[in-house]
A and B are shown apart, each in its own frame.
Chain A
Amino acid sequence: MSATLPASPRMPRPPPAAHRGAERRQRLFAVIQARGATVVLIVAALVAGLIFPAFLKPENIEDLTTAASFLGLVTLGQTFVIIMGGFDLSVGSMIGLGTVLAAYAAPYGVLAAFGAPLAAGALVGLVNGLLIVKARMAPFIVTLAALLALKGLAIVLAGESLIIADPGLFGRSANGALFGVGNLTIILLAAYAVAALVLNRTAYGSAVFATGGNEDAARMLGVAVDRTKLLTYMLSGTMAGLSGALLAAHLSSGISSAGNGYELQSIAAAVIGGVLLTGGVGTLLGALSGVLLLGMIENIINQIGSLSAAFQGLASGVFLLVAVLVQSGLTRQRSS
């Protein structure tokens, strides 16, 4: 080894003080970007607990996470897609279609009730991915087309809704509980834990970051960019299918309009959570915090009672704007 050492001696130069300060600031910004939403979530929850004593009761927290779990699962897939440098608008309709397919398949058992929407979601993701990768179409257009088409398909299949006569085990998969914690909450947290492991600790996860960070460079570095895109759109479609299946189980019915607007809400949640809209940066903890923050706004407005539900949209919009404002500020600071 010593024979291979370069001829020139190592000359570590201590960076000038100004430079060190800039470096510290850069790190601070990176931490704010990654953890800001989580900190805001915790602080906001504590403040809400002071104002509305009912807010921090376990039952209310469980209500919140249960209600947020459907958006949460979709946002998980969306987060992968955005980090990879894309968008998936099809997920909103895929949830509705997922509930309908689950309702159709429920009489054939719990495996069929989950299998059908999950398989359909994977297939939709595959088609989206192929059109984006092979036909080189813009993700926005491809998934927008899918959003419209799948919505139509769900209505053709089920009309407005389709009741599941005997939900049985399928119903309990969503509405049951384990050690006093609701299944939906457990599924949500478990899914994010596994996803975080995949994103941060696998070659596929690295490829997602690399593709979103600089696609051309990723290709030059030998990253299988096309395969990564396909897999990621499939993941997003599958998560939307899962979300639909669980919603059908939760409501004992397939509803073609279920999940309306989730395509944009999931993007909003991810962005509030510090996922960079241009790709390459983001954490799952942040995205989950974004989902719960949106859920909290809904929950608190319900607590107040006297406020119309329309305020929820207003508050969410303002929140998103502030999050993006902070983010673009951070990005500018970091690049200067």
Chain B
Amino acid sequence: MVLLEARHIAKSFGHVAALRDVSLEVAAGEIVGLLGENGAGKSTLIKILTGLERHDAGDILLDGRSVAFSSPRQAQDAGIAAVYQEINLIPERSVADNLFINRAPRVAGLFINRRQMISDARALLSRYGLDVDPARTLRTLGLGTQQLVSIIRTVSLGARVVILDEPTSALSAHEVELLFGIVRTLREERVGVIYVSHRLSECYALCDRMTVLRDGVVALTEATARLPRARLIAAMLGRELVERSRSAQVVANDGAAAGSSDNVLHVEHLNWRRQVVDVGLDVRKGEVVGLAGLLGSGRTETMKAIYGAVTPDSGTVTIMQHRRHRATPARSLQDGLAFLSEDRRSEGIFSHLTVAENLSASMLRRIARWGIISRQRRDALVSEYVSRLGVKTGGSDAPISSLSGGNQQKVLIGRALSTDPSVVMLDDPTRGIDVGAKAEIHRTIADLASHGMGVLVTSSELEELVDTTDRLVVLDEGRVVDTLATAGHHADDVLAVIAGMQTAPSSAPAAEAGAP
């Protein structure tokens, strides 16, 4: 019996079509995996199903009747509940308060019966196998436990359709297991579940069916049992998978190179949460190395852990022969490693400052004398970088917000370079910029390498990565699965490496989640 059905949903934001024609159905007692790379339209679809956005065209049917929600509350009342990645609870209140906010048991219809509420909460938590004192303040619990409390609250609202949006990103292996228990309980209770995740092994372990979105359309819908991993990945990346022999192009992860003085960056056994697992890699002088992998494979996290933007749990990072156990951004910069974050808006740009001010933010020490910035020296350095990188700007005093995305990115690359690094990490530097600017950024990267700099780069487009790098380090679920030379090869080869990884997922997700 189909519970919730979305038919031919379309939604545009301005001129950008987020969803063009998407249909999805969930039956009672069914777990449907919803997959797709960034920008495929998953979040838009979820927002529409939960009343956060209105669709432009198409129908949503609940029990065969057409429905339209204008608020999350309405969707909730109709029986559709969602748990988002960020935890939407009140940190300073107790677990029980959070579970029963707005629906606490009362005395005489007015006063909350706390004892009853605590014991109800205890029953609810233990029913889903979560061992937590309901009187504890939520913020004193780990993020994973908080997330589980949030999920338990949502499923206990009596929802008939539950949407879980990347619920496992904050969970430990043990907590993932508890979550799977909760989801399977829902299935037994005939609830329909939409499960959004980037972790393919989780989807294989849990989902009855999978739907893949790509560029706002459904690329694939298939029962899990009939869906080989390679086909799933091909659908996500939008390309036909051609069988090729892999052995030829795989370069041995040569340990001999590890101590080589050519290495400007050497990473060993790096771990962070469960998102970077025992990662080792090398970048040599003058080499462009790509970090390849699907969304959620740990590309960004690996870079952040190397740089010290997040504190790695273990592992060593050697930059220009300086070996560090615990990296910090300041030390990395000092040793000669620069990092350009993927998130321009929130982590990169000072949007109300000028081009010159943005560019010079990291070289203030070089251009200041006794703490006073020399405008002359600053302008000289700024114009040097502007011309070297080919930034198109009305002048270095123009506000950076007046530049195109590609040129803003060049300014940020210029800033990263202004610390005079020996190795630079660029996280998806061509994201969201037009084709012409992309080509220029590629030229800039090649130019840097030809001057002897080591470059580690990622991209959400595999083809681009293959075409612009010397070597690829392929990541899957936080681990390095292969290292291969790109010369003379095609994106499909890399795809085959990713897809060929694991065709028969084990049913115990905790086992492969690896180190706690």
Contacts and interface: CB of A to CB of B under 8 A. Distances in A.
Interface of A: 1, 3-13, 23, 26-27, 30, 197, 200-203, 205-207, 209-210, 213-214, 216-218, 220-223, 276, 280-281, 334-335
Task: Give the size range of B's interface with the partner.
Answer: 35 or more
Contact of B112 (A6, A201, A221, A334): A201
Interface stretch (B31-39, B174-182, B247-255): B174-182
Given A4-B185, A220-B72, A221-B88, A203 B174 contact: no
B392 interface: no
A203 B112 CA distance: 7
Given A6-B184, A7-B181, A203-B104, A210 B90 contact: yes
Nearest to A205: B112
B127 A30 contact: no
B89 A8 contact: no
Interface in B173-214: 174, 177-178, 180-182, 184-185, 188-189
**Lowest 3 CB-CB distances: which A-B pairs, in order?**
A6-B181, A12-B131, A213-B90
B140 interface: yes
Interface stretch (B91-99, B268-276, B463-471): B91-99
Given A10-B129, A203-B102, A210-B93, A4 B188 contact: yes
B115 to A, nearest CB: 11
22 contacts: A4-B188, A4-B189, A6-B128, A6-B181, A6-B185, A7-B184, A7-B185, A8-B180, A8-B181, A13-B131, A26-B140, A200-B112, A201-B111, A202-B110, A209-B93, A209-B97, A213-B91, A214-B88, A217-B89, A217-B90, A280-B93, A281-B92
A206 B88 contact: no
A209 B92 contact: yes
B126 interface: yes
Nearest to A217: B88
B73 A222 contact: yes
Contacts of A216: 88
Nearest to B137: A30
A163 B72 CA distance: 56
B156 to A, nearest CB: 12
Nearest to B189: A4
A334 B106 CA distance: 32
Contacts of A23: 140
Interface of B: 72-73, 76, 87-93, 97, 101-102, 104, 106, 110-112, 114, 126-129, 131, 137, 139-140, 174, 177-178, 180-182, 184-185, 188-189
Nearest to B138: A213
A206 B89 contact: no
A10 B185 CA distance: 14
- Of A9, A23, A210, the most chain B CB neighbours within 10 A belong to A210
Contacts of A30: 137
A217 B174 CA distance: 26
- Of A1, A4, A13, the most chain B CB neighbours within 10 A belong to A4
A220 B50 CA distance: 11
Contacts of B93: 206, 209-210, 213, 280
Contacts of B184: 6-7
Contacts of A207: 102
A201 B110 CA distance: 8
Nearest to A13: B174
Contacts of B181: 6-8
Nearest to B178: A8
A206 B104 contact: yes
B208 to A, nearest CB: 15
A89 B245 CA distance: 74
B127 A8 contact: no
A221 B114 contact: no
A201 B88 contact: no
Nearest to A216: B88
Given A4-B127, A8-B129, A10-B129, A280 B180 contact: no
Contact of A206 (B73, B97, B110, B180): B97
A221 B129 contact: no
A332 to B, nearest CB: 13
Contacts of A281: 92
Contact of A202 (B76, B87, B89, B112): B112
A223 B98 CA distance: 11
Contacts of A12: 131
A218 B91 CA distance: 11
Given A3-B188, A201-B112, A206-B101, A10 B89 contact: no
A8 B88 contact: no
- Of A11, A201, A202, the most chain B CB neighbours within 10 A belong to A201
Given A202-B111, A222-B102, A5 B91 contact: no
Contacts of A222: 73, 76, 101-102
A335 B128 CA distance: 28
Given A10-B129, A202-B112, A213-B93, A220 B140 contact: no
B188 A214 contact: no
A221 B93 CA distance: 13
A280 B101 CA distance: 14
A217 to B, nearest CB: 4
Nearest to A224: B102
Given A206-B112, A214-B91, A280-B91, 12 more contacts: A4-B189, A6-B185, A8-B177, A8-B181, A203-B112, A206-B102, A213-B92, A214-B90, A221-B89, A222-B73, A222-B102, A335-B139
